[in-house]
Chains A and B, each alone.
Chain A
């Protein structure tokens, strides 16, 4: 095992990741007053989370069917205004049940 190389790799990864996170707040110390930028930044979280979730959620389980069931469960629970943990575990539970049923049906 080539430890010097591995440790160098880890250092590079950690350094690059930290600099990315740290730079914006090292550069921008003052609050931004421009209306467009303020609006833009207010919308960014939703846009980022939406792009991260779709379509990746469809590939996050054993197969597309169970993922669709999980997605439907998550949308339903979120629509009803349930908390983060409830929605997260609810959709995982739906996927688990769906995959067990599929396993039986496929046999």
Chain B
């Protein structure tokens, strides 16, 4: 965790770089799927540049290609992405009070799992400059990856592509493990959430619930339990 370093636009760009790299591989796959499904390159790119969300886009693409109804697309997108609501809520408790409404409206477009994770790691409040930098690099990576995947299908050898599939999860692990070692309640939150998530995934019938809902249910239960059991002190809230 970097402290005492000014939260500049440049630092945002730099912190966004690992996210950007991870995004290139995921959006590459998205671009490939889109063109293999028969969509032109510009449509794949348009989806990525207006949505900026992995699971939601993959599901949406599937529905576009298989002739899904508009209402199906709306509901599916909503369910898969509703976790962003929790993230936005959590994140915007942490932003600088000087951030204007316009800035908030614009920057909320860039709230993704990874941007959220990196932003929450910062000590103290987050300003608009840093947050825009943090969004720009991943956004470019997401668009470039989509474009490359859509145009040059099969550019990367398959062995490299499958190996990169784990990169984003590796990043998540790098974020949650160090705080878990330092604070026992955080470790318990993680443990509860993991157990619940596995339970949903591997139990018949329950495994039909979309991952968006599962994440919300797991996160709400684990966090509520910890908040009751180990309420944070004023000083450590920013941890």
Contact = CB atoms under 8 A, between A and B. Distances in A.
Interface string B90-119: 101101010000001100110101001110
B7 interface: no
Determine the interface band of chain B, counting residues with CB < 8 A from chain A.
35 or more
Interface string B6-32: 000000000001100110000000000
A48 B222 CA distance: 9
A43 B167 contact: no
A43 B223 contact: yes
A25 B46 contact: no
Interface residues of A, number: 75
Contacts of B97: 31
Interface in A82-102: 82-93, 95-96, 99-100
A46 B84 CA distance: 14
B57 interface: yes
A77 B167 CA distance: 13
B70 A8 contact: yes
A47 B39 contact: no
A66 B166 CA distance: 10
A20 B223 CA distance: 21
B88 A24 contact: yes
A64 interface: no
B108 A22 contact: yes
B155 interface: no
